[in-house]
Amino acid sequence: MSALFILTALISTTDSLFAQHHGAPPPMATLGDRNISMDLLIEPMNIIPGKDAQLTMHLTDENTGQKIQHVTYRLTIAKDDQVKLSEFFHSHTGDLNIVARNSNSSHLTVGGTFDVLTNAIVPDPAAKIVINGPLFTEVGKYNIDAEVTTIDNDKTDLPTPLVYHFTTNSSTM
């Protein structure tokens, strides 16, 4: 049975914005008149090296309970200061689902459709982005940084990107 790992990060639009998870959500913040939270779910909660994993994320307007649409994320995953992945992803619906499939390849390939308007990869018709290759192959802590560059409209960049920092572990248990 897979465990479900839920991280909720609340954000704001201060000049330099970072949200970090160490067992509790980061401090609450606002964007305009909205309180926005970021949900990151990782399944399984404790990633097993060499096995598949799924990352699901979205932003929610806490005032209305509605998911925010047209979100562009720059997702960076690193281990021991070595960047394993750094790519722009976009979700028109607000839900971003990424499946990391382990393979014996020496490099990562990202499956999805490149969207010229957002300059990012959007999900395939199955609503998922698939990353094939050696992403979570080692035991230890992985840092996941999600930088949000657009919300509500594909063409409008945020003046200051919203940056979230999360950590997850990979172990043999």
CA distance 121 to 127: 12
> What is the phi-psi region of residue 10: left when phi exceeds 0, alpha when psi lies from -120 to 50, beta otherwise?
beta
pLDDT digits (tens, 9 = 90+) for 50-87: 899 999 999 988 889 999 999 999 999 999 999 999 99
Query: What predicted TM-score, i.e. pTM, was given to this entire model?
Result: 0.82
Cα dihedral 159, 162, 163, 168 sign: negative
Give the CATH fold of the 5-170 domain: S-adenosyl-L-methionine-dependent methyltransferases (2.20.130)
Kind of pairing between the strands at 66-67 and 129-132: unpaired
Q: What is the pLDDT of residue 120?
A: 96
Q: What is the pLDDT of residue 19?
A: 43
Which tokens is 65 given?
A: 């309970």
Residue 2 above 60 pLDDT? no
Task: Report the amino acid identity of residue 170.
Answer: S
pLDDT digits (tens, 9 = 90+) for 28-54: 446 788 888 888 899 998 899 889 999
CB contact at 8 A, 100 and 84: no
Q: What is the pLDDT of residue 90?
A: 96
pLDDT digits (tens, 9 = 90+) for 126-168: 788 999 999 999 999 999 999 999 999 988 888 888 888 888 8
CA distance 115 to 46: 32
- Torsion, Cα of 112, 115, 118, 120 (10° steps): 30
Span 20-29, mean pLDDT?
Answer: 45
More confident residue, 60 or 11: 60
Q: What is the pLDDT of residue 30?
A: 66
Spans of all domains in the chain: 5-170
